[in-house]
Amino acid sequence: MEWRASHILVKSQDLARRLQQEIKQGARFEEMARRHSTCPSKSSGGDLGWFGEGKMVKPFEDAVRRHGVGSVTDPVATQFGYHIIKVTGKK
């Protein structure tokens, strides 16, 4: 199985929750990633491209597995910070 996802990486859970709420209220995910993410992927709207099993840290991969294409996750904590993940593909 392979997945494609975009994410917004921030340092605080409070900020992650606030951004998630703004996205639920209609803010564009890609624009929020460009403005707030600390990951270099922010320049591409948070797009991480395609990846297979074992390529992402476990909490991130587990969240992607549980969500359908087009869905946005609750904040996911990893050693890098807090991710809001948008699943954009599965194959």
Q: How many CA within 13 A on the CB side of residue 20?
A: 20
State pTM to two decimals.
Answer: 0.95
- Give the model's pLDDT for residue 55: 96
Give the mean pLDDT of 60-81: 97
Confidence bin at 73 (pLDDT 50/70/90): very high
- Residue 27's pLDDT band, with cuts at 50, 70 and 90, is very high
Tell which residue, 53, 48, 14, 12, has the closest CA to residue 30.
Answer: 48
Range of 21's domain? Answer: 2-90
Q: Are 22 and 8 in contact (CB under 8 A)?
A: no
The DSSP H or E segment spanning 29 is: helix 29-36
Mean pLDDT of 25-41: 97
What's the domain count of the chain?
A: 1
Looking at residue 86, which CATH number applies to its domain?
3.10.50.40
